[in-house]
Structure formats: structure tokens, C-alpha cells
Amino acid sequence: MDFGRDDYFTIPNFTPERVDLDVHTVRLGLNYSFKAPAPAYRPMK
């Protein structure tokens, strides 16, 4: 994600410091169900 770029001032020497506001994210997911499977469909007679 890119949140742009901004200048921040440091207190000691009051010079602007340019900072890139970027975030790099990796997501991984895994799902598992402990329930029994649903019964098979049987048409009514």
C-alpha cells in the first residue's frame, strides 16, 4: 500500500526529512472444519 510521501522536520537542525509512507504486506490463510460432512442429498419419494 502506498500512502504517499511527506516531509517531516527534525527538532535539532530544523531541516525537512522526506519520508515515503509505504507498507508491504504478505497474508496467508488456512481454513479447516472439524465438523462432520453434510449428508448426501436424497430426493423425496
Residues 6+ apart with CB under 8 A from 5: 18, 19, 20, 21
Show pLDDT as tens, one digit a residue, over the chain (45 residues).
878 888 777 777 777 778 888 888 999 999 887 887 777 777 777
Cell of 21: 509512507
Concatenated DSSP letters for 6-31? Answer: EEEE-TTT--EEEEEEE---------
Note if the pTM is more than 0.75.
no
The C-alpha cell at 10 is 527534525
CB atoms within 10 A of CB 40: 5
